[in-house]
Amino acid sequence: MTTHEKKVLVIGHKNPDTDSICSAIAYAWLREKMTGRKHVPRCCGEINAETAYVLKRFGVPAPDYIEYVGTQVKDIEIREMPGVDRNMSLKRAWMKMQDTHVVTLCITDAEGRLDGLITISDIAKAAMELSDSSILSAAKTPYANILDTLDGVAVTGDTDGCYTKGKVLIAAANPDLMEDYIRPGDLVILGNRYESQLCAIEMGASCLVVCEGAKVSVTIQRLAEEKNCIIIQSPHDAFTVARLIDLAMPIGYFMTTENLVTFRTDDYVDSIRDVMAKRRNRDFPILDHKGIFRGTVSRRNLMDMSRKQIVLVDHNEPTQAVDGVEEAEILEIIDHHRIGGISTFQPVYFRNVPLGCTATIVYQTARERDIEIPKEIAGLMCAAILSDTLAFHSPTCTEADREAAEVLAGIAGVDTDELARDMFAAGSHLAERSPEEIFYQDYKKFKIGAITMGVGQINSMSGEELSNIEKRLTPFLLETMKHSDIKMLFFMMTNITTETSRVLFAGEGARDVLEETFGVKAEGNVCEVPKLVSRKKQFVPGISVMLQN
């Protein structure tokens, strides 16, 4: 048995922004330093242009994408074992099963791909039901198997090939009678009688098995070589040889090759559980993503499965979390948003601080532990703070955020004003992107009482760019609302320079909620709200109070 190394996944929210991605990378690095365990960042959405610029600038690869964190086959304790060769004898297969305490062997080809299966019941059935004296040749039994099974040695002939023609018989009669039933190609089991050995060779036998370790004369050996007859000497008596020889047949002749039920290491347990319940198989082969055999699992393994272990950063609401989060084991939550409705199996470390950015919390944790932050990680964290605080213009920004950003900028060797300008410019090139890409690049769902609303946001320093986006996005928002299962949709287009947001809206009651919350008047499906830049601290809390009242 093998135990898979448990690595912890550090994941931000769906439709990730710069803080979500950079904090996942930074906290994965920091937590690995603190615990010694392997931590890897993951993202559960497309990385936007601003974040892509930041990652490229500081030379850090983007986290791999993860869509679902439900338990997979690779999270189960797989009985890892090599596949066996189809030419393995029934005897060797039985012995291997006894030695390894398994009831199923998986037969693979030279590349490790699954050819078939053989079970302990298949071997028992073969041993009990065989009555055809020609089956040894029909199975194309390797002579090597015969030698091994009979504990024999080759006296003459080439034993590298297979026995492919004739039947197996015992030369118990005198030579006169043997001439009537020995045919060319037969395998003959006999003793030390010179006349019987001579007769068998003369009648065209392809193989002689001489029992009880009887010596074979030089004359018989020479004649056998002339007739291309293999002679095998076995220490066993004729009865034992006759009983054992069928066990020399290759398992490939008896293996099951059709309708095999296999699973991949990336398959999810939910999808395989029902399949396993409907089949009587004791073991199921596991293949990797390339189709290479890796081992087997049984129903019992499902009882011992371990959930994926994850850390959530920059969110704590189920609607924003990666799919399957309810099936994972959450170890920690690091966030700076309101407390949402996410639940855990057991108490977890939950650090939620009213700061402008999750990266500030990561910075504070590193400082508390006196852990030195490397240059590239510092650059990511600084960029995350500048992004989430809109270069310190957001009302969510605190003195702690500003202090952290300046210290991190010094470590990374960057200027905060220059970095903010460049990253915002990189993220503002939205003209070539589709309305759908723009809408969902920073989109979150929030559940307030019985009402679920969706809120997207983009930031730009260009009023002209935002005006063009508004024209393209208005019809998209209205069309999206028709096919949505949520109550209200909002989209904030925030001008960083003027600290003003124009808010597109759709859905029953959305207009009234906006107008009453912010004291503005909507025109069509948009309203302009001065001094509104923060979705987290201004927009969502304001809407929440209004809906609850």
**CATH number of the structural domain spanning residue 94:** 3.10.580.10
How many CB atoms are located within 10 Å of the residue 102 CB? 18
Residues 264 and 315 in one domain: no
Mean pLDDT of 182-191: 94
Mean pLDDT of 297-316: 87
Answer left, alpha or beta for residue 524, where phi above 0 means left and psi between -120 and 50 means alpha.
left
Residues 168 and 222 in one domain: yes
DSSP letters spanning 203-241:
TT-SEEEE-TT----HHHHHHHHHTT-EEEE-SS-HHHH
pLDDT of residue 364: 98
Residues 199 and 286 in one domain: no
Residues 510 and 462 in one domain: yes
Instruction: Return the structure tokens found at 201.
Output: 């060779």
pLDDT of residue 1: 36
The answer as to whether 133 is a domain residue is no
The answer as to whether 390 is a domain residue is yes
pLDDT of residue 497: 83
List pLDDT tens digits, range 405-438.
999 999 999 999 999 989 988 887 777 788 998 8
pLDDT of residue 212: 95
The answer as to whether 362 is a domain residue is yes
Residue 347 clears pLDDT 60, i.e. is over it:
yes
- Of the two residues 393 and 220, the one the predictor is more confident about is 220
The answer as to whether 448 is a domain residue is yes
The answer as to whether 1 is a domain residue is no
Instruction: Return the structure tokens found at 15.
Output: 């439709």
pLDDT of residue 548: 84
Residues 344 and 394 in one domain: yes
Mean pLDDT for the chain? Answer: 91
List pLDDT tens digits, range 493-522.
999 888 899 999 999 999 999 999 999 999
Global pTM value: 0.65
List pLDDT tens digits, range 8-22.
999 999 989 999 999
Return all residues near 308 (Cβ < 8 A) that are at least 6 apart.
Answer: 9, 69, 70, 71, 72, 75, 327, 328, 329
Residues 199 and 164 in one domain: yes
Q: Give the pLDDT band (50/70/90) at residue 142.
A: very high
Residues 331 and 420 in one domain: yes
List pLDDT tens digits, range 99-113.
999 999 999 999 999
The CATH number for 501's domain is 3.10.310.20
Residues 502 and 449 in one domain: yes
The answer as to whether 151 is a domain residue is yes
In the listed set 233, 248, 263, which residue is the last one of a domain according to the structure? 248
pLDDT of residue 47: 93
The span from the CA of 88 to the CA of 199, in Å, is 32
Residue 2 clears pLDDT 60, i.e. is over it:
no
pLDDT of residue 5: 58
pLDDT of residue 145: 97
In the listed set 278, 303, 328, which residue is the last one of a domain according to the structure? 303
Q: Which H/E stretch holds residue 177?
A: helix 175-181
Q: Which domain holds residue 234?
A: 140-248
Q: 104: closest CA among 86, 123, 91?
A: 123
Three-class secondary structure assignment of 245-269: HHHHCEHHHCCECCCCCCEECCCEH
Q: Give the pLDDT band (50/70/90) at residue 450.
A: confident
Most confident of 135-139, 303-307, 466-470: 135-139
Residues 118 and 257 in one domain: yes
Number of domains in the chain: 4
The CATH number for 28's domain is 3.90.1640.10
- Of the two residues 430 and 298, the one the predictor is more confident about is 298
Q: Give the pLDDT band (50/70/90) at residue 381.
A: very high
Instruction: Return the structure tokens found at 101.
Output: 């305490």
Residues 315 and 423 in one domain: yes
**Single-letter amino acid, residue 370:** D
The span from the CA of 198 to the CA of 202, in Å, is 6
The answer as to whether 499 is a domain residue is yes
The answer as to whether 135 is a domain residue is no
Residues 447 and 520 in one domain: yes
In the listed set 380, 399, 427, which residue is the last one of a domain according to the structure? 427
Residues 382 and 451 in one domain: no
List pLDDT tens digits, range 122-131.
998 887 776 7
